[in-house]
Structures are given as structure tokens and as C-alpha cells.
Amino acid sequence: MHHAHLMATDIEETMSFWRHGFGAKVVYDVDFAGSRNVFLTLGTGRIHLYDQPPKVVGQGTVHHLGVQTDELETVVERLRRLGVSVTDIRQEPTATYAMAKGPDNLLIEIFQPDPTLLPPELRHYFGLEA
């Protein structure tokens, strides 16, 4: 995937959430197609923000975004300090994860795969080359 395109009711709040909560970097900020567009990088991923509220508040085509980290507990605690609603950390056989509620009710999965337990065919997918 090249980027996730997200609508933003309050683009400054949304930018702050991604920058301060996850360390995203603003790459480009421009007016395009009649609205402000902001391009962010987050690790090796990309987020494109559009300065307009979702067409239907609380409902959209994005179920959740997955953010991979090797510091799950640190990210969860940082988000909580920022006042973000985050579930308890959950353990699955090959990864731990928590779900956070972002701006405009965007559901975000924050996950940390365990490289020692991942099947070999998934190591490349998660950027964990042998």
C-alpha cells in the first residue's frame, strides 16, 4: 500500500495526533483540489490527510490502520498520556497489540510481531528479514 487517505475534521489535531503519538513527519502541505492536503510519513508507510470531515461522521470505508512497532508498551503509554483511548495490550501467538481511537473515531491497531514466533513466510511481510 502506498498511503492511507484520511479525511480530517480538524487537520491540525489530526496532524498533531500522528506526529506526537507515533513520530510521523510532515513531508508536504499543499492546497490541492480545493482543500488542504498534508502528506506524512510514518516509518515506511504514508498517510495523506484531506482537510474535510468524513462524509458520514463515525462511518467510513477504513476499518482500521495497522501501525507496527517494536516498542508497543511505550507507544501505548505515550498515547494514554495524550488522552487517547487505548485498549489493554492483548497477546496473540505471534504478536501483541492494542487498539486506539484516533481523531474522527479512526480505529488504529498498534502491533508488535514476535520475530522468533512468526512463520518464515511472514518475516518479509513484516520487514523482519532473517
Write down the H helix ranges in the chain: 11-22, 72-81, 120-123
- Evaluate if residue 85 carries a pLDDT over 90: yes
| Own/partner long-range contacts of 51-54 (Cβ < 8 Å, ≥24 apart) | 51/8, 51/11, 52/7, 52/8, 53/7, 53/8, 53/9, 53/104, 54/7, 54/9, 54/104
Task: List pLDDT tens digits, range 57-68.
Answer: 665 657 689 999
> Who wins on pLDDT, 25 or 105?
25
> Who wins on pLDDT, 55 or 12?
12
pTM of the model: 0.73
- Evaluate if residue 15 carries a pLDDT over 80: yes
Domain boundaries, the chain: 4-123
Q: What is the mean pLDDT of the chain?
A: 88
Q: Is the distance from CB of 79 to CB of 103 less than 8 angstroms?
A: no
Query: Domain 4-123: which topology?
Result: 2,3-Dihydroxybiphenyl 1,2-Dioxygenase; domain 1 (3.10.180)
Q: Tell me the HSE value of 2 on the side-chain side, using a 13 A CA sphere.
A: 3
Query: How much of the chain exceeds pLDDT 70, in percent?
Result: 92
User: Hey, is 124 helix, strand or coil?
Assistant: coil
Is beta strand 4-7 parallel, antiparallel or unpaired with respect to 45-50? parallel
